[in-house]
Chains A and B, each alone.
Chain A
Amino acid sequence: MEKGNILEIKNITKSFGGIRAIDGVSFSVKKKQIKALVGPNGAGKTTLFNILTGIYRADSGEVIFKKEKNLFSYKPHRLINLGISRTFQNIQLVDSLTIKDNIALGLHSAIKTNPIYVIFGLSRKQEREVFEKVDKVSKFLRIEEYLLKFPNQIPFGVKRLVEIARALVSEPELILLDEPAAGLNERETELLLKSIFRIWERNISILLIEHDVEFVTSCSHSIVVMDSGKKIAEGLPSEVMNDRRVIKAYMGE
């Protein structure tokens, strides 16, 4: 693994039936970098995300995280222990849990589970520590006023932040954001941008998928552009957005 990288994606290929959803994509994310993955609908961005998070299995290729750990050898529920967490494009908050509990779910694997502990209430100290961390992260993202509400009682923009809070509470080294700006209005998008920069200031690497080109150019250090399963460009936002192939992919001939 090259020095300074936290994640290396090497030659990933994935087909569904006869369709090549991802065709030999490689790129890497550096430590403390905000990397964006963009591309038109059907470019394979979400498929790649699902491969990274272990939901799909790649046909070939590998993903290396930190000290030579190949992600494909881990079950999906173990990834969070390595220091990778994610948010979802279509909000995945649990409606019957308060925001507080939803964020606490992000620390599930930090609690050492044991049925005996649960029955005799011995896990309470750990639970308290979890909620202290939940308080901290919600203050950091300025959503503490919503903690006791349920997901259907809060605005959409806040739900996005709660998703991020849940991913952040376990203090990961790499966070994957799946279209964080989708469906947000201008003010909410601005708030999100600020939050992303503040996360970055905490030395957390970020890989995000995004549709909104303006949003991406204003927040990322490096951009990868995909089109119909292939990587067609990579580089600084200003370079990539002037690339002829990128313009073609977005605008047509």
Chain B
Amino acid sequence: MKENVASYLLIGLFFFSGFLIKNPFILNMISIAALTVIVVMGLNLLLGYAGQVSLGHAGFVALGAYLSSILAIKFNVNPWLSIFVSSILTFLFALIIGYPTLKLKGHYLAMATLAIGEIIYIFANNLVNLTGGHQGLTGMPMLSIGNFVFNNERKFFLFVWVVVFLFAFLSFRIVNSHFGRALKAIHEKELAALSFGVNVHLYKVIIFSLSAFYAALAGGLYAFYLGFISPSSFDLLKSINYVVMAFVGGIDSIFGSLIVTVVLSSLPNILTFLQDYWPIVNGSLLIVAAMFMPKGLGGFIRWKREIF
């Protein structure tokens, strides 16, 4: 089966499970996981396909969440419009920031993106008038279409999986085009990419900004779904978690990152007794994955298929 078909089936499965699951706690948990899937799918385009690391993606999620909330609360902008506008603004912000940053490579790039994430985090904490500081921001109106209000967990659950589908579709379109081919070439053989007409730097900046767009849109939906955001949801640990999910799910596998993200972002809520130790669990998982399936779950599945 092709990877895109498998992924669409899996997303469909999640969508329909929304009709069966009764427990609002689980619905809520998987909705949040689905939003994380969007972020990780975007990050995967950057990390998995183009091979450029970002340790600041929580910053872009925060930008999407805060900008859209502020637009809606302080300027009475329609929630949908404010999510869309804030995502576009984040995209543009990433374009400007990414232009100098993506000239860096490897560890330097990791450090620079980490700093971007931290700076956004500090702003969220300290611009108290706008963001409410560490106490957070609340009072976002509920999302609605006409008279249909997304006022319970199930409605949002179904909606968010539709959004996941749209982003997965977009991702597959990109990676299966000549654009995706160029991204892989940039990842592995930058010199070859350059020699065959790929504007390497421009492509890196574009894919960086696009992945920031994914993150911001997920952030916006997150803010309006919960109706409350605070800086602690967007700290460095979150950025690292995104990278772990993308890595364990599989560099260059959208299907893999889909499964792994749902599992890894839900597990802490199920294994509550491990909550304080979760970074250890995450870290060990990364080590195990790096040792036994260096191409992540996606690569592992592909490898198995080759053998049998």
Contacts and interface: CB of A to CB of B under 8 A. Distances in A.
Interface in B100-131: none
B57 to A, nearest CB: 21
Say which size band chain B's interface belongs to: 20 to 34
Contact of B177 (A106, A127, A166, A170): A127
B71 interface: no
Nearest to A130: B178
B3 interface: no
A104 B177 CA distance: 11
Identify the interface centre among B189, B195, B200: most chain A CB within 10 Å of its CB. B195
A76 interface: yes
Interface string B190-214: 0111111111100000100000000
4 smallest beta-carbon distances between A and B, as pairs: A109-B197, A92-B192, A80-B197, A92-B189
A86 B197 CA distance: 12
Contacts of B194: 55, 76-77
Interface stretch (B9-17, B78-86, B180-188): B180-188
Interface in A112-139: 113, 115, 118-119, 121, 123, 126-127, 130
B185 A97 contact: yes
A194 to B, nearest CB: 25
B172 to A, nearest CB: 10
A96 interface: yes
Interface string B165-186: 0000010011001110110110
B81 to A, nearest CB: 21
B191 A55 contact: yes
Interface of B: 170, 173-174, 177-179, 181-182, 184-185, 187-189, 191-200, 206, 252
A121 B189 contact: no
Contacts of B173: 118-119, 121
A88 interface: yes
B255 to A, nearest CB: 15
Given A77-B198, A94-B192, 20 more contacts: A55-B194, A77-B194, A80-B195, A85-B196, A92-B191, A92-B192, A93-B189, A94-B189, A96-B184, A96-B252, A101-B181, A104-B181, A105-B198, A108-B197, A109-B196, A109-B198, A113-B179, A118-B173, A118-B174, A166-B196
A105 B186 CA distance: 11
A113 B197 CA distance: 12
Chief secondary structure at chain B's binding surface: helix
Contacts of A97: 181, 184-185
Contacts of A113: 178-179
Given A96-B184, A118-B173, A81 B197 contact: yes
Contact of B185 (A53, A94, A111): A94
A214 B223 CA distance: 71
Contact of B193 (A105, A115, A127): A105
A95 interface: yes
A70 B163 CA distance: 50
Interface string A210-232: 00000000000000000000000
Contacts of B184: 94, 96-97
A53 to B, nearest CB: 6
A80 B196 contact: yes
Given A104-B178, A108-B182, A96 B192 contact: no
A105 B181 contact: yes
A76 B192 CA distance: 11
13 contacts: A94-B188, A96-B184, A96-B187, A96-B252, A105-B198, A108-B182, A108-B196, A108-B197, A113-B178, A118-B177, A119-B170, A119-B173, A166-B196
A111 B199 CA distance: 13
Interface in A32-82: 53, 55, 75-81
Contacts of A78: 197
A88 B197 CA distance: 15
A227 B188 CA distance: 33
A21 to B, nearest CB: 18
A199 B62 CA distance: 56
A93 B130 CA distance: 51
A77 B197 contact: yes
A185 to B, nearest CB: 25
Contact of A123 (B177, B191, B206): B177
Given A55-B191, A119-B173, A106 B196 contact: yes
